[in-house]
């Protein structure tokens, strides 16, 4: 497994002063910026697009930007995100007509590629694309909103995906997104995750460094 990564979801950041808030959370010890893209079509919420990703790069953000696409269709926005400075691009297989082609499109644009599986989405989507995946993201809430509770059945799914990654012999990241907090992150890591999205757990607290230190302490314990 790769070293643990903490990826604050900027869905819970202060959008009126986003650059500063993202810079602060990175200075507080975050590894990756998790960038939630919602289209009010695939999910019932509307957020941010490539312009905001580019603006963060222009502001001086050099950390990896992990773009989580909750949009349908997927393909036509991928080149724009690559140009805007995305490092990782993940998408929901139900939102793509041709999953293999979409993964290849992301890679052809120089980004790491991954699938996102909702709580009720089957692991069968992984069957024929393991060789193309850099990352697998398991949703531990239904996508659309921050601040929801972690769905415990995700733990078993994480164990199954970790097993599949081991069998593949490839070093694929296993990310988890939704309801991750200091009181469950250790259990989530034990189930096989190595990258942790946390939105409300971090941004709803005044001291980002203290929360991130607490999350890392739980991971190290
Ligand atoms: C939900 C998003 C998540 C969300 C996580 O659709 O993909 O990234 O913002 O927020 P918390 O950590 O508050 O559950
Ligand atoms: Zn997300």
- Say what the pLDDT of residue 221 is: 85
Q: Which of 36, 92, 138 to mutate to test the pocket of ligand 1 (most atoms within 8 A of CB)?
A: 36
- Say what the pLDDT of residue 79 is: 98
36-71 confidence digits (pLDDT tens): 999 999 999 999 999 999 999 999 999 999 999 999
166-210 confidence digits (pLDDT tens): 999 999 999 999 999 999 999 999 999 999 999 999 999 999 999
pLDDT higher than threshold 80 for residue 85: yes
The Cβ-side half-sphere exposure at 37, using a 13 Å CA radius, reads 26
> Complex ipTM, two decimals?
0.98
The answer on whether 122 is annotated among ligand-binding residues is no
- Mean pLDDT for the chain? 98
Q: Which of 34, 46, 69, 197 to mutate to test the pocket of ligand 1 (most atoms within 8 A of CB)?
A: 197
The Cβ-side half-sphere exposure at 135, using a 13 Å CA radius, reads 27
Percent with pLDDT over 90 in the chain: 99
Q: Which atom of ligand 1 is nearest to the CA of 204?
A: 13
Q: Which atom of ligand 1 is nearest to the CA of 45?
A: 6
* Cis-peptide, bond into residue 73, ω within 30° of zero: yes
**pTM > 0.95: yes or no:** yes
CATH for 89: 3.20.20.70
pLDDT higher than threshold 80 for residue 118: yes
Our count of domains for the chain comes to 1
- How buried is 85 (Cβ within 10 angstroms: 0-12 exposed, 13-18 middle, 19+ buried)? buried
**Pocket lined around ligand 1, Cβ cut-off 6 Å:** 9, 11-12, 34, 36, 68, 141, 143-144, 146-148, 177-180, 197-201
Q: Which long-range contacts (CB under 8 A, 24 or more apart) does 206-213 make?
A: 207/28, 208/8, 208/24, 208/25, 208/28, 208/29, 208/30, 209/27, 209/28, 209/29, 211/28, 211/182, 212/6, 212/25, 212/28, 212/29, 212/30, 213/29
Domain that holds residue 42: 5-220
């Amino acid at each position: 497994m790769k070293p643990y990564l903490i990826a604050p979801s900027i869905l819970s950041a202060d959008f009126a002063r986003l650059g500063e808030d993202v810079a602060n959370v990175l200075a507080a010890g975050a590894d990756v910026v998790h960038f939630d893209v919602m289209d009010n079509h695939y999910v019932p919420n509307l957020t941010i697009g490539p312009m905001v990703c580019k603006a963060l790069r222009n502001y001086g953000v050099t950390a990896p930007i992990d773009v989580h696409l909750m949009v349908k269709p997927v393909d036509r926005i991928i080149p724009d995100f690559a140009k805007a400075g995305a490092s990782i691009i993940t998408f929901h297989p139900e939102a793509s007509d041709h999953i293999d082609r979409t993964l290849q499109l992301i890679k052809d644009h120089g980004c790491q590629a991954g699938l996102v599986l909702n709580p009720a989405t089957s692991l069968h989507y992984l069957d024929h694309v393991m060789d193309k995946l850099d990352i697998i993201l398991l949703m531990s809430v239904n996508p659309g909103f921050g601040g929801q509770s972690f769905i415990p059945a995700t733990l078993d799914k994480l164990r199954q995906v970790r097993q599949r990654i081991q069998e593949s012999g490839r070093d694929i990241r296993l990310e988890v997104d939704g309801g991750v907090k200091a009181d469950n992150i250790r259990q989530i890591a034990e189930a096989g995750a190595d990258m942790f999205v946390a939105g409300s757990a971090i941004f709803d607290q005044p001291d980002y460094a203290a929360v991130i230190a607490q999350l890392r302490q739980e991971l190290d314990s």
